[in-house]
């Protein structure tokens, strides 16, 4: 019986017509659909070709790759090709500034620690991502400060560095247990000790003890290593750029939230003070703020206070960035419908509960692309610290052209610096676009 049953086999799809598939069709459809389009295509291709060939000729085909002085380069190709050896010799300086060469590994380890700290954020099975992210922002700077600065550490600083180290250990412990066992490190520890059925208080006590133990071990570890001091005057290059913009963004997020809340507050004094601060710092160019802090901060302080140059630049960048961040956050806050506030209010939540539990989580989620954009802007803006004389990427590039052997080498270092900036900014903006798309899912995008 059943053997007679014919199964329905659909006939295979017919291939699309030859002129609507394949490379040729794509080209026809997208590039030469009509005459103006074809002209535009040719024009676009021509522009792309001219620019690319000029740059490639200079940077690659006509370039000099080995020479001892700029004179040798000039004698070989004149100015038709780039002179790379000078940049190559100084390349390490472009990245690390004047940081002592034998200590450079500390910078590498410091940034490696940050990357390792962030890795769990990309592991899908890790659940405490917010905690990890927050710890990276709050605790990592202490750890990094000692790697970068070194020197004598007092009791307090030792404690703080150990706190950073503790944070790092706990983050990875959590990441490991969550990936392998699908439970937090604390829960895993309690299970391992066989106290899963113990009282809540007992469990908390065990967790605290464990943290304390790690902290003490970390203190011991920190106490036993010591790095030589590298004063901030030797910091420079990409490293300095990253430090300034990193601190700027870390500081500006909480400060920006406070300012934005202040501006929307219904206490007139607070609202007007926040508004004045935000508008003042947003209305002047960063370069004037940097200038002011550089020349005038020492005047504002009591006589004899030494404020180092890097700190002045960082203070200026932080204040500037917080004013901008405040406006971004305010935009986010405004996007939260009134209904949310009213609902929270009707549940009897206090102002701070409403803000921290209901409004900010929603606002920050909307604002993430803008915050990343702000960070890119800040990263680019740090080029301005070169104008007050810090040896960031720009000034380091300039120093190459003042080296007696490479006197006048100017275009090449700038080309490399531009590339470095582009790679970083492009990576960040692509990440931000990806993030935007990911966050946009589930919302009506019509």
Q: Pick from 57, 104, 234, 435: which binds other proteins (CB under 8 A)?
A: 234
Q: Is 348 left (phi over 0), alpha (psi -120 to 50) or beta?
A: left
Min dist. Cβ of residue 310 to other proteins (A): 11
Does 267 bind other proteins (CB under 8 A)? Our answer is yes
List the beta bridge partners of residue 237. 392
Around Cβ 57, how many Cβ atoms within 10 Å?
14
Tokens of 250: 């870390």
Does 443 bind other proteins (CB under 8 A)? Our answer is no
Min dist. Cβ of residue 236 to other proteins (A): 9
Q: Of 176-205, which residues contact other proteins (CB under 8 A)?
A: none
Q: Which of 12, 179, 443 is nearest to 188 (CA)?
A: 179
Does 12 bind other proteins (CB under 8 A)? Our answer is no
Nearer to other proteins (CB atom), residue 211 or residue 387: 387
Does 46 bind other proteins (CB under 8 A)? Our answer is no
Helix intervals (H) in 225-236: none
List the beta bridge partners of residue 83. 64
C-alpha to C-alpha distance for 61 and 66, rounded to whole angstroms: 14
Please tell me what DSSP assigns to residue 392. Answer: B
Q: Pick from 25, 62, 72, 89: which binds other proteins (CB under 8 A)?
A: 89
C-alpha to C-alpha distance for 150 and 152, rounded to whole angstroms: 7
Does 437 bind other proteins (CB under 8 A)? Our answer is no
Min dist. Cβ of residue 43 to other proteins (A): 9
Burial 198-216 (b: 16+ CB within 10 A, else e): eeeeebeebbeebeeebbe
Does 149 bind other proteins (CB under 8 A)? Our answer is no
Min dist. Cβ of residue 268 to other proteins (A): 7
Min dist. Cβ of residue 187 to other proteins (A): 33
Q: Which helix (H) or strand (E) holds 107?
A: helix 104-118
Q: Of 18-37, which residues contact other proteins (CB under 8 A)?
A: 30-31, 33, 37
- # residues near other proteins by CB under 8 A: 91
Nearer to other proteins (CB atom), residue 168 or residue 239: 239
Min dist. Cβ of residue 87 to other proteins (A): 11
Q: Of 303-322, which residues contact other proteins (CB under 8 A)?
A: 303-304, 306, 309
Nearer to other proteins (CB atom), residue 61 or residue 300: 300
CA distances from 231 to 146, 149, 228, 234 (A): 12, 6, 10, 6
Q: Pick from 186, 395, 412, 432: which binds other proteins (CB under 8 A)?
A: 395
Q: Contact 83/400 with Cβ under 8 angstroms?
A: no
Does 156 bind other proteins (CB under 8 A)? Our answer is no
Min dist. Cβ of residue 291 to other proteins (A): 6
- Per DSSP (E only), the strands in 15-150 are none
């Amino acid at each position: 019986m059943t053997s007679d049953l014919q199964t329905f086999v659909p006939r295979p799809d017919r291939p699309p017509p030859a002129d609507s598939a394949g490379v040729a069709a794509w080209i026809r459809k997208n590039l030469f659909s009509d005459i103006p389009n074809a002209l535009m295509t040719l024009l676009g291709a021509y522009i792309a070709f001219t620019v690319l060939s000029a740059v490639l000729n200079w940077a690659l085909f006509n370039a000099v790759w080995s020479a001892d002085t700029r004179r040798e380069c000039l004698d070989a190709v004149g100015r038709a090709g780039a002179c790379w050896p000078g940049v190559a010799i100084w390349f390490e300086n472009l990245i690390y500034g004047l940081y002592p060469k034998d200590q450079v590994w500390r910078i590498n380890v410091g940034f490696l620690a940050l990357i390792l700290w962030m890795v769990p954020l990309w592991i899908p099975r890790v659940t405490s991502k917010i905690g990890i992210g927050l710890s990276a922002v709050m605790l990592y700077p202490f750890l990094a400060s000692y790697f970068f600065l070194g020197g004598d550490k007092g009791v307090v600083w030792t404690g703080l560095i150990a706190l950073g180290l503790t944070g790092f250990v706990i983050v990875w412990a959590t990441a490991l247990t969550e990936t392998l066992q699908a439970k937090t490190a604390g829960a895993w520890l309690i299970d391992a000790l066989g106290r899963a059925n113990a009282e809540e208080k007992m469990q908390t006590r065990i967790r605290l003890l464990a943290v304390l133990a790690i902290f003490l071990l970390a203190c011991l570890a920190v106490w036993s290593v010591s790095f030589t001091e590298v004063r901030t005057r030797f910091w420079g290059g990409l490293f300095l750029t990253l430090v300034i913009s990193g601190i700027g963004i870390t500081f500006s997020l909480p400060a920006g939230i406070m300012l934005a809340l202040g501006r929307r507050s219904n206490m007139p004094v607070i609202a007007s003070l926040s508004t004045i601060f935000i508008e003042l710092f947003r209305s002047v160019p960063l370069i004037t703020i940097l200038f002011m802090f550089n020349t005038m901060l020492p005047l504002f302080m009591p006589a004899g206070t030494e404020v180092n140059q890097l700190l002045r630049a960082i203070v200026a960048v932080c204040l500037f960035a917080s004013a901008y961040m405040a406006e971004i956050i305010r935009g986010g806050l405004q996007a939260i419908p009134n209904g949310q506030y009213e609902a929270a209010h009707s549940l009897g939540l206090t102002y701070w509960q409403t803000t921290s539990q209901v409004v900010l989580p929603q606002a920050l989620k909307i604002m993430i692309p803008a915050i990343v954009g702000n960070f890119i802007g800040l990263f680019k803006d740090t080029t301005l610290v070169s104008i007050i004389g810090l040896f960031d990427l720009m000034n380091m590039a300039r120093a190459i052209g003042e080296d007696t052997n490479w006197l006048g080498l100017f275009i090449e270092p700038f080309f490399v610096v531009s590339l470095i900036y582009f790679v970083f900014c492009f990576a960040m903006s692509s990440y931000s676009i990806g993030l935007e798309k990911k966050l946009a899912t589930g919302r009506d995008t019509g």
